[in-house]
């Protein structure tokens, strides 16, 4: 339907530029945040688009997370890792915050998945269940967190694949 050469070039280039920007943004965000390591527990479901991943519960060391949230409603939530407190508004006097959502009394911050190779899925699941597993995060000042690594007894899961 588009008959103009320049418009066609634009519609072909825009997705590539946006996706490249998204990749660069994710990559550059990692060193900008503060590194935090938190313990996890998990199991292995499957995602058809992106492959196998471990889904886990993060132990933030904070009590009463999303306790006051209604079981039906979604609400914003904030965990202050410095004072180990949960709040439903932006916490004051806190240096390290993880921003998320209380979804049916569960805190979700977009860091609850760790993708693993297809052939290593079972091995990774067993390692996480039978050992001390933890997740390494990069937490930015605006509360956004990004996964850097998954550790099994302090060793990166990626290094354990080859063993």
Partner 1 sequence: MSKLNKTLTDWVSNNLITSEQADQISAYEEAKPSYSWVLYGFLILGVVTIGIGVISLIASNWKDIPGGLKLIIDLLLLIAVATATYRSWDKKKPILFEALLLFFMILCMATIGLIAQVYHTSGEAYQVLLFWSFLTCGLAMASKKSFAPFLWATGFFSGVTLLMYNALGIHLIFQENPVPIFMTIPLLSALFALIFRQITGESGQTKAFRLWTLIGGLIALVIAELQILDRTPPDLNYSGFFLGYALSLILAFGIWRNSKLKKAQKYLLLLTLGLYLIPFHLSMLLIDSQVICATFSIAILSTMAIFLASIGLRNLFQLFLVAIGIRFLILYFQAFGGLATTGFGLIISGVIIISAVVLWSKYRQKITTWAEDVIQ
Among 60, 86, 107, 114, binds partner 1 (CB under 8 A): 114
Q: DSSP for 36-81, please give it.
A: EEEEEEEE--EETTTEEEEEEEE--S-SSTTTTS-SS-EEEEEEET
**Residue 11, C-beta contacts closer than 8 angstroms, at least 6 positions apart:** 2
Closest distance of CB 134 from partner 1, Å: 14
Q: Note whether 78 binds partner 1 by CB under 8 A.
A: no
Task: Specify the residue, 48 or 64, whose C-beta has the smaller distance to partner 1.
Answer: 48
Q: Whole-angstrom Cα distance, residue 46 to residue 110?
A: 16
Task: Specify the residue, 48 or 93, whose C-beta has the smaller distance to partner 1.
Answer: 48
Beta pairing partners, 39 = 134
Q: Which residues lie near partner 1 (CB under 8 A)?
A: 1-2, 5, 7-16, 18-20, 22-23, 26-27, 47-53, 55, 72-76, 101, 110-120, 146-147, 158, 161
């Amino acid at each position: 339907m588009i008959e103009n050469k320049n418009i066609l070039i634009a519609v072909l280039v825009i997705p590539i530029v946006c996706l490249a920007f998204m990749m660069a943004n994710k990559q550059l965000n990692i060193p900008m945040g503060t590194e935090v390591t938190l313990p996890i527990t998990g199991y292995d479901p499957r995602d058809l688009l992106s492959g196998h991943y471990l889904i886990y519960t993060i132990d933030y060391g904070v009590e009463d997370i999303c306790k006051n949230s209604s079981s039906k409603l979604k609400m914003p939530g904030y965990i202050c890792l410095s004072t180990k407190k949960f709040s439903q508004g932006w916490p004051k006097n806190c240096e390290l915050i993880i921003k998320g959502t209380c979804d049916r009394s569960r805190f979700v911050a977009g860091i609850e998945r760790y993708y693993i190779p297809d052939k290593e899925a079972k091995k990774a699941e067993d390692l996480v269940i039978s050992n001390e597993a933890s997740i390494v995060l990069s937490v930015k000042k605006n509360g956004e967190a990004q996964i850097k690594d998954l550790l099994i007894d302090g060793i990166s899961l990626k290094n354990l694949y080859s063993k």
